[in-house]
Amino acid sequence: MDTPPDLQEPIASVLGRTPSGLFILTVANHAGQETGLLASWVQQISFDPPMLTVAVNAKRYVNAWLEERPVLGLSIIAGEQKQFLKHYGAGFAPDESAFAGIPVVRSPSGLPMLAAALGWMEGAVRDKWSIGDHLLYAIEITSANRGPTFNDREPYVHIRKNGFRY
């Protein structure tokens, strides 16, 4: 880490308090494999066209899948849906089912979206940058839908104790 030792603790504690939402990111490859992972670094970046950014750790195999099939989905997690944090927090091997026992609906491109989510969005990768230890994707939203509790629940807002790790 290039951060000077005397700045590590104050930066880590304040950066960790920067709020973000929690999402389940879904991707698939051309072989038909699908996976999902917990994502928190998601931010809207454009009104017209509707776009957002998604940051994915550069070491994740899903980056290769996004090169192969540049479409992804995001299911928005509600504050009460902590079960999804445990299920998706550790990640899955490429041949493991990320959706076993989880009810899903299908997006227009066929990606699995969590049926119990507040809502979901699907989009196409329009650009990508290597930023630090993550890849940052610019996603143009191509479809979205509200979930069954969209009007009744609030999105999960996430903060961390330390801004230098998940």
Averages of pLDDT over runs of 10 residues in the chain (166 residues) are 79 86 95 95 96 97 97 96 91 94 96 97 98 97 96 91 78
Q: Is residue 165 part of a domain?
A: no
Query: What pLDDT does residue 72 have?
Result: 98
Q: Is residue 166 part of a domain?
A: no
Q: Is residue 89 part of a domain?
A: yes
- Count up the domains in the chain and report the number: 1
What CATH number did the domain enclosing 16 receive? 2.30.110.10
Whole-number Å distance between alpha carbons of 163 and 99: 29
Query: What pLDDT does residue 13 have?
Result: 86
Q: What is the domain extent for residue 75?
A: 5-158
Distances (CA, A) of 45 to 12, 24, 77, 92, 147: 25, 19, 20, 29, 23
